[in-house]
C-alpha cells in the first residue's frame, strides 16, 4: 500500500470540533510545531534553550494569535519594519508570551519548566508531546568532529528527560524526531536504551526513516521519526515510509519569483517579489498572498570564493557535473584537506527535484549552497534556505537582539524540521486521536 500526498490540494488548517493540545520540547525555531499548528493542533508550550530561537517562536506565536483575533495587519507592519519587535510582543497577551519557555531541559530547571507548562495548561490535558533533542550527539558529522566520538556527552541521554516528561504529562502519543545517526550511535546503544525507557513509561513505539522530498519538500533530507503511543490505546500506526509525493516540481520553482541580488545584497525588511508565485509556492502556501518579502539577504563573499562559485555553476550548467575541489586551479585552493569533502563547493541545482540537505553549517559559510544563477554569483539567501525547508515566507527568524541576524537565522533553519513534512505527519496523528 502506498500513501499519496494531498498537500498540494488541501494545505489549509484542518478544522475540528475537538481541540488537541501539544507540548513542543527542544522546539528550535518551531518547524515541527508549525506543521502541527497548520493541522489544527493547539500549542500549549514550547521549551527551547536558545534565546534567538525562542524569539523566533514568540514572533510566530504573535502571528498565530493576531491572525486568530483578526489583527494580522499588526504582524504585517512588523514585517514591513513599521513597528518594533517590542511593540509586536505587546500586542499579545501574557499567556501567549509565557508559552515560550527559554530554559534548558534537565534536572536543574525541570521544576520551573513544569510550573510554567502547568500554568499554561490551566487544567487542559496534554494529548501530544513532540520534539527531539539536539542531534549533534547522534549525527555522523558531530561524531566525526569530536575527539572521543561524543562518548560521555550529556546530550546523548537527553532522551531520558523526554521520558520524564512523558511520565509527568501522560500524552496519548508522542512524536520524536532525530537524525539517521541515532541508529548507529554507539553501536545502536542509545536507540535501544531510548526504546527501553519509553517502554518503561508505558509507551509502544514505531521508528520510521523518512525522506523529506516524499512529503513535498524540495530537499534531500532524511530523518528518523519515532511515533509512540500509550500501550493501552493499542493503536495501528500506518507505515509513514510508504508516503510518496506524486507532484513534479523543480528547485527552480522555489527560486524564480525572488528578485535577483548579488553577494552581500538584499534586505531584511523588506523587498518586493520579482515575479508571480509558481504553482508550487501557491499550492504549498509557502507564498500565500502576502506581498511582503523579508530576509532575502545574502552573505558577502571573497572574490576567490566567487571565482570558485562561477566554476561550480558553469560545470553544472554545461555538463551536469559537480565541482571536485581537486580540479580547481592551485591558486584557488586554500584547504589543506585534499582527501575528503571534495564536494565542499556545491550548487543548489535549479533543474533537480530537490536540493542537498540544508544543515546548520550554513550559518558558517555558504559554499555548499551556491545559487544556480551565475549572474548573481553568491550562496543562497536566508529566505531561499527557509523555502528549501518549506517554511512559509511570512515566517520570520529572529536573533537575540532585534534586527537582521543572518547567522542566527541560518542556524535555526538548518536545525529545523520541514513544516511541510510535519504537517503530513500531524494529519495522520490527528486521525489516530479522533
Q: Are residues 161 and 15 in the same domain?
A: yes
Q: Do 292 and 322 share a domain, yes or no?
A: yes
* Terminal Cα distance for the chain, rounded: 22
Query: Is 407 contained in some domain?
Result: no
Q: What's the chain's length in residues?
A: 434
Please confirm, yes or no, whether 434 is among the known catalytic residues. Answer: no
In this structure, are 125 and 183 located in the same domain?
Answer: yes
CA-to-CA distance for 349 and 252, rounded, in angstroms?
A: 8
Residues 264 and 227 in one domain: no
Indicate whether 408 belongs to any domain: no
Cα–Cα distance between 383 and 405 in angstroms, integer?
A: 12
> Based on the domain organization, do 20 and 144 belong to the same domain?
yes
Q: Same structural domain for residues 367 and 313?
A: yes
User: Which residue range forms the structural domain that includes residue 311?
Assistant: 252-397
326 in the same domain as 272: yes
Q: Give the count of domains, the chain.
A: 2
Question: Which position among 54, 120, 135, 434 bears the catalytic label?
Answer: 135
Cα–Cα distance between 335 and 332 in angstroms, integer?
9
Question: What integer pLDDT is reported at residue 137 of this predicted model?
Answer: 60
- For 361, which DSSP code? G
In this structure, the answer to whether residues 243 and 257 fall within a common structural domain is: no
pLDDT at site 352: 97
Question: pLDDT per position in the chain (434 positions), as tens?
Answer: 444 554 444 444 444 457 899 999 999 999 999 999 999 999 999 999 999 999 999 999 999 999 999 999 999 999 999 999 999 999 999 999 999 999 999 999 999 999 999 999 988 999 999 998 886 566 555 434 445 444 444 556 899 999 999 999 999 999 999 999 988 888 888 899 999 999 999 999 999 999 999 999 999 999 999 999 999 999 999 999 999 988 899 999 999 999 999 999 999 999 999 999 999 999 999 998 899 999 999 999 999 999 999 999 999 999 999 999 988 888 888 877 766 677 899 999 999 999 999 999 999 999 999 999 999 999 999 999 999 999 999 999 999 999 879 999 999 999 999 999 999 999 999 999 98
Beta bridge partners of 355: 219
Q: What is the CATH number of the domain that holds 357?
A: 3.90.120
**Coil, helix or strand for 346?**
coil
pLDDT at 341: 74
The candidate with the shortest Cα–Cα distance to 263, out of 298, 236, 228, is: 298
Residue 290 lies in a domain: yes
Same domain, 167 and 118: yes
Q: Which grid cell sits at 195?
A: 526504546
φ, ψ (nearest 5 deg) of residue 230: -60, 135
Same domain, 271 and 241: no
Three cell numbers written together for 323: 565541482
**What's the CATH number where 211 sits?**
3.40.50.150
Closest-CA residue to 370 (of 322, 420, 432): 322
Q: Which is it for strands 173-178 and 222-230: parallel, antiparallel or unpaired?
A: antiparallel
Rounded to two decimals, the pTM is 0.92
Domain contains 411: no
Residue 33: its pLDDT value, please? Answer: 98
Beta bridge partners of 100: 46
Residues 290 and 219 in one domain: no
Same domain, 299 and 328: yes
Phi then psi dihedrals of residue 318, to 5 deg: -85, -35
Whether residue 410 is contained in a domain is answered as no
Please check whether residue 333 lies inside any domain of the structure.
Answer: yes
d(CA 91, CA 87): 7
Amino acid at each position: 500500500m502506498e500513501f499519496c500526498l494531498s498537500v498540494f490540494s488541501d494545505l489549509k488548517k484542518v478544522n475540528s470540533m475537538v481541540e488537541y493540545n501539544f507540548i513542543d520540547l527542544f522546539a528550535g525555531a518551531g518547524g515541527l510545531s508549525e506543521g502541527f499548528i497548520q493541522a489544527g493542533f493547539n500549542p500549549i508550550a514550547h521549551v527551547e534553550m536558545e534565546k534567538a530561537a525562542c524569539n523566533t517562536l514568540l514572533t510566530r506565536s504573535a502571528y498565530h494569535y493576531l491572525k486568530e483575533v483578526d489583527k494580522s495587519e499588526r504582524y504585517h507592519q512588523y514585517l514591513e519594519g513599521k513597528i518594533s519587535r517590542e511593540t509586536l510582543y505587546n500586542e499579545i497577551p501574557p499567556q501567549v508570551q509565557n508559552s515560550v519557555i527559554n530554559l534548558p531541559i534537565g534536572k536543574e530547571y525541570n521544576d520551573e519548566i513544569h510550573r510554567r507548562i502547568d500554568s499554561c495548561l490551566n487544567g487542559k490535558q496534554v494529548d501530544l508531546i513532540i520534539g527531539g533533542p539536539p542531534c549533534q550527539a547522534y549525527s555522523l558529522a558531530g561524531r566525526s568532529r569530536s575527539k572521543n566520538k561524543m562518548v560521555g556527552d550529556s546530550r546523548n541521554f537527553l532522551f531520558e528527560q523526554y521520558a520524564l516528561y512523558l511520565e509527568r504529562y501522560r500524552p496519548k502519543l508522542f512524536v520524536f524526531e532525530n537524525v539517521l545517526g541515532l541508529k548507529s550511535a554507539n553501536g545502536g546503544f542509545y536507540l535501544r536504551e531510548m526504546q527501553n525507557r519509553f517502554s518503561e513509561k508505558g509507551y509502544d513505539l514505531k521508528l520510521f526513516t523518512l525522506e523529506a522530498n516524499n512529503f513535498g519538500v524540495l530537499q534531500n533530507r532524511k530523518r528518523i521519526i519515532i511515533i509512540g503511543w500509550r500501550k493501552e490505546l493499542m493503536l495501528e500506526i500506518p507505515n509513514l515510509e510508504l508516503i510518496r509525493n506524486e507532484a513534479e516540481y523543480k528547485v527552480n520553482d522555489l527560486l524564480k519569483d525572488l528578485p535577483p541580488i548579488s553577494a552581500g545584497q538584499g534586505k531584511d525588511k523588506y523587498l518586493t517579489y520579482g515575479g508571480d508565485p509558481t504553482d508550487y509556492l501557491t499550492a504549498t502556501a509557502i507564498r500565500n498572498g502576502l506581498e511582503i518579502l523579508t530576509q532575502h539577504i545574502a552573505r558577502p563573499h571573497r572574490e576567490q570564493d566567487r571565482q570558485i562559485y562561477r566554476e561550480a555553476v558553469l560545470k553544472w550548467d554545461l555538463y551536469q557535473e559537480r565541482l571536485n575541489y581537486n580540479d580547481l586551479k592551485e591558486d584557488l585552493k586554500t584547504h589543506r584537506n585534499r582527501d575528503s569533502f571534495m564536494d565542499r563547493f556545491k550548487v543548489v541545482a535549479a533543474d533537480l527535484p530537490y536540493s542537498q540537505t540544508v544543515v546548520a553549517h550554513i550559518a558558517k559559510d555558504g559554499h555548499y549552497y551556491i545559487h544556480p544563477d551565475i549572474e548573481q554569483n553568491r550562496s543562497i539567501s536566508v529566505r531561499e534556505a527557509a523555502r528549501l525547508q518549506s517554511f512559509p515566507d511570512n515566517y520570520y527568524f529572529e536573533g537575540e537582539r532585534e534586527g537582521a541576524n543572518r547567522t542566527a537565522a541560518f542556524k535555526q533553519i538548518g536545525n529545523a524540521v520541514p513544516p511541510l513534512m510535519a504537517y503530513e505527519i500531524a494529519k495522520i496523528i490527528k486521525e489516530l486521536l479522533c
